[in-house]
Chain A
Amino acid sequence: MSITVGAPTDAPPEAGEGAGQRMSAEVTVERAATFDDLFRRRYEPMVRVAFLLVGSQAEAEDVVQDAFARVELRWSRIDNPEGYLHRCVVNRSHDVLRRRRLEQRFRLLRRDETSELQVDELADALAALSPRRRAAVVLRYYAGLREREIAEALGVRPGTVKSMLHRALSELREVIER
Chain B
Amino acid sequence: MTPPLEDHLHRLADDLAAPATPEARAAVRRRVGVLRRRRRARTAVGGGVVAVALVAGVAALQRDDPADVEMGPAGPDTAALPAFTVDREGWEVIEAVDLGVDEDVEDLAAPVQADPAEDAAAPEGSLQVFRRPGQLTGPSAFLSHGPASDAVVPEEGDETVSLNGADGFLRPAGFDAYSLLWNPAGSDSHAVLRTYGLSSDEVEAFAAGLRAKDDAISYPPAADDVFGFEATELPAGIEEDPVASPPAGPPAGRRTVLERDRARVEVTIDNLGDRSFESRLAELLTTAEGVSEGRVLDRTVVVVERVGDGGTQWNLTWQDARGAVVDVLITGVDAASVPGVAEDIRELRADAWRALVAESG
Question: Which positions in A face B, CB cutoff 8 Å?
Answer: 1-6, 13-14, 17-20, 22-23, 36, 39-41, 43-44, 47-49, 51-52, 57, 60-61, 64-66, 68-70, 72-74, 77, 83-84, 87, 90-91, 94-95, 98, 117-118, 120, 122-123, 130-133, 137-138, 141-142, 152, 154-155, 160, 163-164, 167, 169, 172
**Cβ 8 A contact of A65, one of B24, B156, B199:** B24
Q: Is the CB of A43 within 8 A of B20?
A: yes
Contact with A along B1-23 (1 / 0, CB 8 A): 11111111110111011111000
Q: Is the CB of B36 within 8 A of A22?
A: no
The closest CB in chain A to the CB of B311 belongs to A167
Q: Is B43 an interface residue (CB 8 A)?
A: no
Q: Is the CB of A4 within 8 A of B4?
A: yes
A36 to B102, CA, bound (A): 62
Q: Is the CB of A19 within 8 A of B3?
A: yes
A90 to B203, CA, bound (A): 17
The closest CB in chain B to the CB of A43 belongs to B20
Q: Which of B169-177, B206-214, B337-345 contacts A (4 or more CB under 8 A)?
A: B169-177
Known: A43-B18, A164-B307, A167-B307. A4 touches B28 (CB 8 A): no
Q: Is the CB of A47 within 8 A of B28?
A: no
B337 → chain A, closest Cβ, in Å?
16
The 7 closest A-B pairs by CB, nearest first: A18-B2, A69-B31, A43-B20, A155-B172, A19-B6, A47-B18, A142-B9
CB neighbours (8 Å) of A57 from chain B are 16, 18
The closest CB in chain B to the CB of A44 belongs to B18
Contact with A along B193-210 (1 / 0, CB 8 A): 000010110000000000
**Known A22-B10, A47-B18; 12 more pairs at CB < 8 Å:** A2-B4, A3-B5, A19-B3, A43-B19, A44-B18, A51-B13, A52-B13, A72-B32, A120-B8, A132-B174, A141-B3, A155-B157
CB neighbours (8 Å) of A4 from chain B are 3-5
Question: Which positions in B face A, CB cutoff 8 Å?
Answer: 1-10, 12-14, 16-20, 24-25, 27-29, 31-32, 34-36, 156-157, 159-160, 171-176, 197, 199-200, 289-290, 307, 311-312
CB neighbours (8 Å) of B173 from chain A are 155
Q: Is the CB of B12 within 8 A of A3?
A: no
Q: Is the CB of B6 within 8 A of A13?
A: yes
A54 to B129, CA, bound (A): 31
Q: Is the CB of A20 within 8 A of B2?
A: yes
Selected A-B contacts with CB under 8 Å, 6 pairs = A19-B2, A22-B14, A61-B24, A69-B32, A132-B289, A155-B173
A143 → chain B, closest Cβ, in Å?
9
